[in-house]
Structure 1
Amino acid sequence: MIKPFLPEARQESFLTVGFDSDLKLNLDPYSLFGDSTFDRKLEFGEHFLHFTSITNLFNIIRSQSIWMRDLNSLSDEKEFTFANTHLNPKESGTLKSRLLSLSLCEFSEKTAKDSFMWNEYGSDHKGACLKLKIHKTRGIPPTYQLGNIIYHNKKTPIIDLENLYKRHLKFKEEHGYSITNIDEILYLVSSYYKQDCFVKEQEIRLVKTLSGTSLPFRNSPEEPPLEYAYISEEGCFRYFMELPLNKATNSIIAPHITIEEIIFGKHISDQEFYTLSEITAEQYKNSFQSEPMISIIRGD
């Protein structure tokens, strides 16, 4: 049923409760992308880019971490829901809360200078761009997914998702049971689709699926602490998690990510660049307790 779209998806659990109609079949959400369109294998010594504001840059250095946020916190509310007309709107908020996301770009000199990226995410060339390395020696832990964003015209249906849902219904009709966590699977897959107007981003998305079903969600002690914001108007939580930077540790389940270079926007004046470079180096030294063995430059 799911193999044509996600060839390496595997069964997580299979539970029989009472009669055949009570069969419970779950797919493992952490093994979905192998050899699929979404699969982004991590090669040795690869670099990625993350565009941000100066304020966020200082927060990243001060906290020695980079944030993953839940999908309810994305700036483009439509980028997730447009992907699949079969998503259950009643469960939308909860299922989106379970998926934490960090947006990255494939590194290239061209992308590091791209005006679209700087305008959209780098404060109109007055922000910063981090050149990051995800170390292959540690790899991507099993509770995370590193995948390619698929760009699609919002006016046309996504045939792969349509066919997956149809095969799911057909299987259920023929056998009397189906994938119990199909909504969770569809939400995870849908988080890797964006409207084709964003195709210039060539985004790579690191996604963390939160375990458990009770609200508010919580992380295991072996993972980076889950942080909370409470939206009183809506009576709900927003979730974020700080991935540690420059720390090769086996005590925390997280990718090993290091800062390799900091690029300031080209519209920052000479005096601003001098001051920002000085402060950035000082903050880096204070936070990481070491001299910044990185390049701090201004973009072209």
Structure 2
Amino acid sequence: MKLLFCVYLSVLFFSLFSCQNDKRVENENSLSIQREKSKLVVEYRILSNVKYLEDRNCIEKLASCKNPKAEVRFLFPKNISELGLDTAYQEDSYFIHQLGVFNKPIFNEDENYRIYVMTFDYMVSLVVFEDKRTKNRTFTITGKAKGIFWINSSYWIVGNDCHMGCSMSIERIKDPKLLKPTKEQNLDSLRKQLQRLPYEEKMKIVRQEGDELLFSANDTLYNGIGKKLSGFIPYQNSMILVFEQYKSNKYRFIQVNEDKSVEHIDSLVNGKFDTRQFSEDDMITILPKNQSLISLCQTIFKIENDTLFVYSLR
């Protein structure tokens, strides 16, 4: 029975994000939409003078590890300011790791919405927008959410997870009011209600108006760019994705634009980025104040003057 259950979840996820209709465009062709190479360049720097591995001071425990619903925040290393990297603007919920599979949602907010994220099912997230003025709630089902950003008047959701295969997506929400509404205040109850829906009804939520798929990649497409998503950072009106090549310490960078085109950045970095806590655990960043600097604990991405600086603390 356990094997059949896992197979069902796997089939559900890949059906949700591989069999999109015309509104969510041609997923597997997204990497073939090429423009000129990105003008962004990459510089890789090893910060060997930072004693981070022993200190692990970018991790803040919010509850006892004996508590099955404990939370762990992943922040900037405290001594990183000594390197001239300003981290004064970090938010409390910059990166949060939820222990357990179906825990309470995590959230952050801007001037218009409170955004809640919680695990919906295998490799899938439930994202709820609450209008701060009207208190109305709308929601969508996405890939396993790792980052939510405000880019050019839209919310971009980066989804990624690997288990018996890798899959990732970037979805854009231009107007949360167009998403499916709900009056349910208890998000765990909402999740359970949605899970009981027939497959066709779930697909209507995935394919709904207002949730646009900008980019999608599964194992087949990963072969051309890498194997594991190791990080991401907004750049102008686009998203930079960092992929680790299979069984190597080489990394490639691509730029996903708002018109769904993809540009390969002319850089192949040899090194080691320790972002396993981001890629393997249930971590998510929601609406960071400064999107030009993303800390993944032992790896920091910073964009300045069309240069992506990659700082590795190991």
TM-score by length of 2: 0.27
The structure where strand makes up a greater share of residues is 2
Identify the structure with the greater helix proportion.
1
